[in-house]
Structure 1
């Protein structure tokens, strides 16, 4: 049976001079089912696409995220951790840091009036707001941000410190005020945004998509064996202490398992 993709805007978020829209493409059969017959229907997966509406504002996208744009919009490569057009000195400093950490140097900045469309994805797109703070994002989750937001890097040394290693894990860091889009196999409605007030959160597994920079992060041993933890990561828990927000996906293992068993 043939299907057609029907678009529908399912989520929106706004910042000064910009707007994010998530469009979901729902596959629907082109023919009516035959009456009097049992006809099993296997629908293709839904696709999602992000539209960035710019009204003179600024947007930053992950490299490779752009599919097309229309309007009077200028594109510029920007060194990670600095503003667009930061100068040769900023680019050289960024290049040295990127070489040391292994992180890619450039993001892509867009400024002007028009609309930007990202590549369609089967992952879910989660929209959130940044309130004059830092947001540490999981690897590969960042898609785009708009408003007064700087995209930089954060070196997470939690597990490295626990294992006695000097190297840390490099993650995107968003700073400022605006709205952002992250991607995940987990639908937005299944996330728990936990507002910690001087509390401690311990998580067994990589279930956190993002957390605000005011939280102190560490990795601590759990009751599991140290031998197993040294090889697989088991035996440690991720610990978040202080005041801030955490985007937690309790159902992530279910989605990962279903994707592995899908035909």
Structure 2
């Protein structure tokens, strides 16, 4: 990406961020009540509510509140969580590493599986394998993610426990570590992997469905190109045609799709 295009992209991202901040601020001010009403205990006097509004800065003008909102948001100061009673940045920081790990693993797995499935569909166009993978990808992409999540939890957590299946098939539905367990080294890594199997597999399946359809379409379009016929005419095997020539031709659009997914 050239530098001017990068600057324009960053400018659009900053403008979008400012629009989201402004819209959020406006909607919060249009909602009935305010944060002070939520925080003061039931039966609190009017003076207690006024003191709480003063501590939160809600007694200042809208312009001053908006300027403070922008300044603190752009500076990464998101205030204190009313539920966790901790700094919002600390709450996000605790969950961010796990979210990045799950998202990164599922993204990589979705592209690996999706690319392989798409190439297999193109190589066996019109076969039962192609039909089965097409139906599976359409169902996964079209189904709401929470339906798939609930179904996976029901199968691999509750039913697996009810039917007394092997431990490796009983996948935890919540958390990323066994509660109360003190594990170190390889045991801790294996415990994390066991907890990550269900969310990573589900997220990867959803992403792989879209990637497979994209790769299948691109591969079928390329199969009729002159360079494909030339490769076959020179005696290249089908595995080399698909694994080297066709996969290499799809590398650039797949990298673009991967960058957009990030």
TM class by shorter-chain length?
under 0.3
TM-score relative to the length of structure 2:
0.22
Higher RCO, 1 vs 2 (CA within 8 Å, ≥6 residues apart): 2
> Whose strand fraction is larger, Structure 1's or Structure 2's?
1
> Whose helix fraction is larger, Structure 1's or Structure 2's?
2
Larger radius of gyration: 2
TM-score relative to the length of structure 1:
0.22
